[in-house]
């Protein structure tokens, strides 16, 4: 497969995204190749560590390849998307609980499906170019691939802010929000990977400090916590509208671009995860309930049309006034019965 390179080099199982011209967007076939390799390496005595990286300067993985999702959904076939998400989420859970060390090296854009592969690793390395984001609310989804677990465990209300606004996290912000662990200059990555391949302990990538550069999450933490601690989406919008700061105005503008149904359901997922005690399985289960329904009942197809297909940037969202009924939220997150996500 030309889109991904999977091999064993020395002591390391190596997974490298190799479609940089497509920002290493992940196809279903790439996802399944990762699944097969990592299952095989569990019992392979040669493999002491798994290293995940990507070719190119612009992106580790900018998300899933959504062309087929959109085409099948528009044709009224929701089966392909549901299978894609189901199998992808199982891979995310496997990476999170993998019995051997997993190290991800994430440069450039890390979004959507890229978060699911790279940000559940035990050791997550970024460089100065890294930009991590969960932009799903802008296309009618909720933060998925287990991203709601990271958001629910982030300090204060950072999770609500990052999940609802699709804010791009610079390296220091990514570490504050717990999407990354260590900032290491990109020029050092080849030698570090070589050391991992030759048997060095994963501690060679651990313990690197941030840049101490200004971070949005640190600089605006009080405002984030005040506005995003409001109990509902309308209350958050009202709180931001009453704040005449540049930060509040920019944040409000970001929210108004996104799907109200998606944002309201994201808030509900984070609330439920915190109340129940967040786990990767519970996060993925709630996310899958939403994505399973997202084409038929949500805003996903309209979001892709507006952002990717027609590019008019004028989506016609449900509940465009921000007043999303609790019944609509509950319906999107209701159990799926025999279609509920499992992790076998």
Q: Which of 65, 88, 127, 144 is catalytic?
A: 144
Q: Is 136 among the catalytic positions? A: yes
In sequence order, what are the residues at sequence separation of 6 or more whose Cβ sits closer than 8 angstroms to the Cβ of residue 240?
227, 248, 249, 251, 252, 255
**Distance in angstroms (rounded) separating the CA atoms of residues 10 and 112:** 31
Q: Is 113 among the catalytic positions? A: yes
Closest CA to 103 of 211, 12, 23: 12
Rg (CA), the chain: 19
Q: Which of 73, 112, 113, 303 is catalytic?
A: 113
129 by Cβ neighbours in 10 Å (0-12 / 13-18 / 19+) ranks as middle
Q: Is 144 among the catalytic positions? A: yes
Q: Which of 53, 65, 88, 136 is catalytic?
A: 136
Check if the beta carbon of residue 62 is closer than 8 Å to that of residue 114: yes
Q: Is 10 among the catalytic positions? A: no
Check if the beta carbon of residue 291 is closer than 8 Å to that of residue 81: yes
Q: In the beta sheet, which residues pair with residue 109?
A: 59, 131
CB atoms within 10 A of CB 210: 17
75 by Cβ neighbours in 10 Å (0-12 / 13-18 / 19+) ranks as exposed
In sequence order, what are the residues at sequence separation of 6 or more whose Cβ sits closer than 8 angstroms to the Cβ of residue 303?
138, 139, 140, 141, 259, 315
Q: Which of 13, 63, 64, 122 is catalytic?
A: 64
Half-sphere exposure of 302 (CA within 13 A, CB side): 19
SS3 206: coil
Q: Give the residue numbers marked as catalytic.
A: 64, 113, 136, 144
């Amino acid at each position: 497969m030309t889109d991904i390179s999977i091999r064993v080099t020395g002591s390391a199982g190596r997974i490298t995204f190799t479609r940089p011209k497509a920002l290493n967007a992940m196809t279903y076939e790439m996802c399944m190749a990762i699944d097969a390799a990592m299952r095989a390496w569990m019992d392979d005595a040669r493999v002491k560590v798994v290293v995940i990286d990507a070719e190119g300067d612009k992106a580790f993985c900018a998300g899933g390849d959504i062309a087929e999702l959109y085409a099948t959904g528009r044709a009224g076939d929701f089966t392909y998307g549901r299978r894609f998400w189901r199998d992808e989420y199982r891979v995310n859970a496997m990476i999170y609980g993998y019995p051997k060390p997993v190290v991800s090296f994430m440069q450039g854009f890390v979004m959507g499906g890229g978060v699911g592969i790279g940000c559940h690793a035990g050791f997550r390395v970024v460089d100065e170019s890294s930009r991590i984001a969960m932009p799903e609310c802008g296309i009618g989804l909720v933060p998925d691939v287990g991203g709601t677990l990271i958001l629910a465990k982030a300090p204060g209300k950072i999770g609500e802010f990052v999940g609802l606004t699709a804010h791009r996290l610079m390296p220091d912000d990514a570490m504050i929000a717990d999407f990354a662990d260590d900032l290491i200059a990109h020029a050092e990555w080849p030698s570090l990977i070589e050391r991992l391949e030759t048997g060095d302990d994963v501690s060679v990538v651990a313990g690197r400090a941030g840049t101490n550069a200004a971070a949005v999450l640190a600089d605006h933490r009080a405002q984030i916590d005040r506005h995003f601690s409001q109990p509902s989406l309308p209350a958050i919008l009202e709180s931001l509208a009453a704040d005449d700061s540049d930060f509040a105005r920019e944040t409000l503008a970001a929210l108004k671009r996104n799907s109200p149904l998606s944002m309201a359901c994201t808030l509900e997922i984070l609330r439920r995860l915190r109340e129940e005690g967040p786990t990767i399985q519970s996060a993925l289960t709630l996310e899958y309930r939403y994505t399973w329904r997202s084409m038929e009942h949500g805003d996903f197809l309209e979001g892709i049309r507006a952002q990717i297909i027609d590019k008019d940037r004028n989506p016609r969202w449900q509940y465009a006034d921000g007043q999303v009924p609790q019944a609509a939220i509950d319906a999107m997150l209701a159990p799926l019965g025999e279609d509920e996500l499992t992790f076998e």
